Amino acid sequence: MKILSANQTREADAATLQYEEIDSLELMERAARAFAGWFENKFTPQQQVFIFCGPGNNGGDGLAVARLLSQRAYSVKVFIVGDSTDSSQDHKVNLQRLPESVQRQTILSSADLPQLYANTCVIDALFGTGLNRPVSGLFAEVIHYLNKAAVCITSIDMPSGLYTDSQTPDDGAIVEASYTISFEVPKLAFFLPQHEKYVGEWHTVPIGLSPAFISEAKTSYFFTSTSDIIKLIKPRPKFSHKGVFGHALLLCGGFGKIGAAVLAARACLRSGVGLLTVHAPLAGYTILQTAVPEAMTLADTHRKHISELPAEMEKYTVVGVGPGIGKDKLTKTALVQLLATSELPLVIDADAINIIASSDRLKAQLPKNRVIFTPHPKEFERLVGKTRNDYDRLEHLKEFCQEYSCYVCLKGAHTVLGTPEGNLFFNTTGNAGMATGGTGDVLTGIVTALVAQGYTLEEACILGVFVHGLAGDLAAQQIGEIGLIASDIIDFLPQAFRTLTGN
């Protein structure tokens, strides 16, 4: 699914009007009906609704919503901020359509601001996506007042004051919404950590924008939905055998971190790999043979560290490396050898990332189109350097993937995959309970298993990240976020795959 820019969204509106031969008021009415439908399912008519409208079409949306909610027995009051004589034409028409029974008030100064109560539902219809400068003056006073009131704010399409797809200046006021309801598709801003306190919980509602326009629109930003993922999953033929689903090799574990190898191995097995071999320090041999009996285990000659590659590397389908390995010199030497000699796809995580990040020479040795990195934000910073903000980080991600022809799964609330083509795919599963040690090791195992089964590197990343988050969501439903641990994600992997495949 595509993420469109603010300009592209306006072009989609225009294309829809032209194709369907309707006017902008009809499209605004669709948007208002979609928003009101969501609102009605979330809030009861017993709660008073205050709608703050700006002079543009977002304010027109708010006026149309006010009319619809009043028809559905909500107690609605409209506050028009600023001089409405300069408002858009659609705003003026919807103001005329507002029933006399709906109270309205013009706010020309801070003295006109109403008293807000704890159970008041506020709808933000000040600016939406049409903003191209920082909010100041009276509108900033209104936004600061709403934020300080600690009421539930629902923004129409976009929190007012927040830029849609570029860095918002620091000197402008921004609504801190509890909910943001976007029309048709989400906005890029929704996926960035720096905007969490402004966007709140976001949802999309369909308004029938032109499918043809959206299909043809050029973008490098995408988000994954369940329907996208279902199309990716390969069926397992009736006459399959273990050799069909690949033989994965995991180079994992170090003294005191053998658990990382156990987690990666168990996740790999639960993700459908045919055969799995784990190469680990000698100290981990008994642990792995006991904890993961389905995997074959190779013991390194060194007791505490991985110091060598196993023999017969050519028999494997993919190599996953990094969880728990540490940064010992012998381990670094083995990693250098792996990069120099292996012709297999590589899934690189944890300290393997840190080792490569410390050397431009090692980065230069990365094989083209055969490497997947799975860093958390700090590991990513070591890999590509410091960034100014989340938009800058996305640009660094694009540039790194293009320069080294690799794939990078930058982990977070919306894990984002960067590809060698410069595309970015945002994930839509997962929860805060997954912010605990070991969940990254689980992801390494999942992605490694999928590559072993013949998925392309891009498919393995998109599917692996989605299933990882889905298993975390299923686990959280059963045991809650606070008590969730990495092993729980592994335990729910079968249910996650079954949810997607039906078997």
Tens of pLDDT, residues 6-42: 999 999 999 999 999 999 999 999 999 999 999 999 9
What tens digit of pLDDT does each residue of 307-333 get? 999 999 999 999 999 999 999 999 999
Q: Do residues 77 and 89 touch, judged by C-beta distance below 8 A?
A: no
Residues 144 and 292 grouped into a single domain: no
Domain end, chosen from 157, 191, 219, is at 219
Q: What is the rounded distance in angstroms from the CA atom of residue 124 to the CA atom of residue 51?
A: 6
pLDDT at residue 131 tops 90: no
pLDDT at residue 130 tops 80: no
Residues 170 and 204 grouped into a single domain: yes
pLDDT at residue 335 tops 80: yes
Q: Do residues 379 and 405 touch, judged by C-beta distance below 8 A?
A: no
What tens digit of pLDDT does each residue of 190-237 get? 999 999 999 999 999 999 999 999 999 999 999 999 999 999 999 999
Kindly report each contact of residues 333-342 with a partner whose C-beta sits within 8 Å and lies 24 or more positions away, as own/partner.
Answer: 333/307, 334/251, 334/306, 334/307, 334/308, 334/309, 335/362, 336/362, 336/365, 337/309, 338/251, 338/309, 339/365, 339/366, 339/367, 340/365, 341/309, 341/313, 342/313, 342/367
Q: In this structure, what token pair is assigned to residue 368? A: 């083209």
Residues 293 and 415 grouped into a single domain: yes
Residues 183 and 243 grouped into a single domain: no
Answer yes or no: is 157 within a domain: yes
Closest CA to 250 of 412, 443, 419, 488: 443
CA 149 vs CA 15, 47, 180: distances in Å: 40, 16, 18
Residues 401 and 427 grouped into a single domain: yes
pLDDT at residue 189 tops 90: yes
DSSP states of 200-269 as a string? -EEEEE-----HHHHHH---SEEE--HHHHHHHPPP--TT--GGGG-EEEEE---TT-HHHHHHHHHHHH
Average pLDDT in the 104-121 region? 94
Residues 351 and 421 grouped into a single domain: yes
Answer yes or no: is 1 within a domain: no
pLDDT band of residue 150 (cuts 50, 70, 90) is: confident
Answer yes or no: is 260 within a domain: yes
What tens digit of pLDDT does each residue of 478-497 get? 999 999 999 999 999 999 99
pLDDT at residue 455 tops 90: yes
Residues 214 and 337 grouped into a single domain: no
Answer yes or no: is 390 within a domain: yes
Beta strands in 266-403 (DSSP E): 275-280, 296-299, 318-321, 346-348, 371-373
Answer yes or no: is 130 within a domain: yes
Residues 197 and 285 grouped into a single domain: no
* Token pair 């083995």: residue: 334
Please give the pLDDT value at position 87.
94
pLDDT at residue 156 tops 90: yes
Domain end, chosen from 198, 219, 240, is at 219
Q: What are phi and psi of 458, to 5 degrees?
A: -65, -45
3-state secondary structure 413-425: CCCEEECCCCCEE
Q: How many CA within 13 A on the CB side of residue 309?
A: 21
Please give the pLDDT value at position 84.
80
- Over the chain, what is the mean pLDDT? 97
End-to-end CA distance of the chain: 25
| Cα angle: 131, vertex 134, 139; to 5 degrees | 85
Please give the pLDDT value at position 145.
97
In the chain, how many domains are there? 2
Average pLDDT in the 153-165 region? 97
What tens digit of pLDDT does each residue of 240-284 get? 999 999 999 999 999 999 999 999 999 999 999 999 999 999 999
Residues 156 and 232 grouped into a single domain: no
Spell out the alpha helix ranges (H) of 98-136. Answer: none
pLDDT band of residue 448 (cuts 50, 70, 90) is: very high
**For residue 470, what are the domain limits?**
228-501
Answer yes or no: is 385 within a domain: yes
Average pLDDT in the 86-98 region? 95
Complete edge-to-edge strand list for the sheet that includes strand 121-125: 103-107, 76-81, 49-53, 121-125, 152-156, 179-183, 201-205
Please give the pLDDT value at position 460.
98
Residues 316 and 413 grouped into a single domain: yes
Residues 430 and 462 grouped into a single domain: yes
Closest CA to 66 of 55, 57, 79, 56: 79
Q: What is the rounded distance in angstroms from the CA atom of residue 354 to the CA atom of residue 441?
A: 15
Please give the pLDDT value at position 83.
87
pLDDT band of residue 174 (cuts 50, 70, 90) is: very high
Please give the pLDDT value at position 118.
87
CATH number at residue 59: 3.40.50.10260
Domain end, chosen from 201, 219, 237, is at 219
pLDDT band of residue 52 (cuts 50, 70, 90) is: very high
Answer yes or no: is 82 within a domain: yes
CATH number at residue 480: 3.40.1190.20
Residues 273 and 214 grouped into a single domain: no
